[in-house]
Structure 1
């Protein structure tokens, strides 16, 4: 496992993706429009997983008792909610996979540790409903949390898209204005330092780290580092940089039922993965 980023790197430029991709509003507008269309075509069932206003997930089901994939949204733990990402459901519904999309509270209203507790509760509720650990996939902050859920044996597999697995570099960026992490807390909440699932872990031992080929060197490094570290400790991992895609367009394959990324999630959600 490689160490944290060099002090000589411009960490703000590396990790501030909205600044790095000036046309991101157009991509996000497409997310919003597609999400509204997805909800209209296939209205989800809202399910509360906690007492808070944002502790609710939308569950899209093609048929009862279908395998479930949980999508954890990004926004650096300080933006967006489930309503932005309903559009990830149709391609997976096409293959008979249910999709749960939880919201969670945001920084600076709550600390990152609290957000992780909420995500645990959402994933655990899906497990209780279905009788098996779900596959978890997520983007950016959601990629981080997907790996956390696999480390804790709450997921059968995790597909982390553009994840941040070592949070220490964020301490030195404007993104930390809301997160308010110090170096110790950042390290403690970084799944690169968490227990590595192994053959005796009942939840599963598959981690995919996918990143856009046009993302910053730091995002490429983080995904490669995570995949290599867990692979060296017995986890089945995959690393892939998707050519021509940035931190926002990296999600584009999730629109297409025939894309390799969607088919991989379907494969990971299949009943061959460990139950209970």
Structure 2
């Protein structure tokens, strides 16, 4: 099996190269038109910052949206417009950056996202929802595991939505990406959500596109089966547009998550 090809998304999405610049442009425009406070520090590192976008009036709760990029690409500035659905429905949204491989291991990135969620919880009261895309899907799933977040923060987590997550890291050891990720059996065992126990009482909904690469459909199914949680397969969606539901207040997913 060609593992690099199996986990290659852009090669199988028409116009894939246009997505990142479009995301960046739409995100910048949304930040400029919204009640956004940028670059709030949650740690000491240059990338240990998040943006907080507030709705009009008191927030019903907090959504933390964690970006993907195989733990090796992007930052918070590309994703602000994916807060639109939550904001329009009265939720505050935090979008964190984190260190990237190879300068950080995945286990360290998990710790950074936990620190970001913990700091964000100080800014907004009420329930906390976590959503993340691809590598971000892995990271929010890790937040749902026992012992990752402080107890007082973990107790506020109401729902976690891993979107096209990499829930089992072990296959990535067979890819050339592992030159930067530096995964080994020990880290895969500790960091793969499918091998961990989710916290009791947290609703988990796995979202994946019907037109994604087979391995991503497998990864979503593995997590759904391991955790006995719901899986939603979005018809007609691929790896890059499955997140569009979070920018559309009228999407079925938005209406389900933010009633």
Q: Which residue pairs with 2:46 in the alignment? A: 53
Which deviates further from its counterpart, 251-260 or 21-30?
21-30
Tell me how far apart the structure 1 counterparts of residues 257 and 77 of structure 2 sit (CA, whole Å).
21
Q: Distance in 2 between matches of 1:254 and 1:175?
A: 28
Among 66, 71, 80, the residue aligned to 1:72: 66
| Distance verdict in 2 for CA 1:177–1:133, change over 3 Å | farther
* Structure 2: distance between partners of 1:187 and 1:125: 27
Q: TM-score, normalised by structure 2?
A: 0.91
Conservation of the 8 A alpha-carbon contact between 2:63 and 2:129: yes
1:187-222: per-residue Cα shift (whole Å, max 9, x none)? 221011112322xxxxx3211111111111111011
Say which of 179, 204, 223 aligns to 2:181: 179
Report the alpha carbon displacement of residue 132 of structure 1 after superposing the two structures with TM: 4.5
Distance 1:64 1:253 in 2: 23
Match of 2:13 in 1: 21
- Which of 96, 115, 125 pairs up with 2:119? 125
Give the alignment of 1:94-113 within 5 angstroms: 94-113=88-107
Distance (Å, rounded) in 2 between the aligned partners of 1:44 and 1:96: 14
Shift of 1:133: 5.0
| Structure 2 CA distance for aligned equivalents of residues 263 and 213 of structure 1 | 20
Rounded to whole Å, the distance in 1 between the matches of 2:100 and 2:33 is 29
- Whether contact under 8 Å (1:12, 1:173) holds in the other structure is yes
Aligned ranges 1:60-209 → 2 under 5 Å: 60-62=53-55, 63-132=57-126, 134-152=128-146, 154=154, 155-198=157-200, 204-209=201-206
Q: Distance in 1 between matches of 2:101 and 2:14?
A: 23
Q: Measured at CA, do residues 110 and 69 of structure 1 come closer, stay the same or move farther in structure 2, by a change above 3 Å? A: same
Question: In 2 relative to 1, CA 249–65 (structure 1 residues): closer, same or farther, beyond 3 Å?
Answer: closer
Distance 1:133 1:180 in 2: 35
Name whichever of 106-115 and 182-191 sits farther off. Answer: 182-191
Q: How many residues are treated as equivalent by the alignment?
A: 249
Q: CA deviation at 1:65?
A: 4.2
Query: Which SS does the other structure have where 2:122 is aligned?
Result: helix
Q: How many Å apart are 1:93 and its aligned residue?
A: 1.0
Select which of 222, 230, 233 maps to 1:238: 230
Contact 2:82 2:244 in 1 (8 A): no
Kept after mapping to 2: 8 A contact 1:16/1:175: no
Instruction: Verify the 8 A CA contact 1:13 1:20 in the aligned structure 2.
Output: no
**Contact kept? 1:148, 1:191, Cα under 8 Å:** yes
RMSD (Å) for aligned C-alpha atoms: 1.6
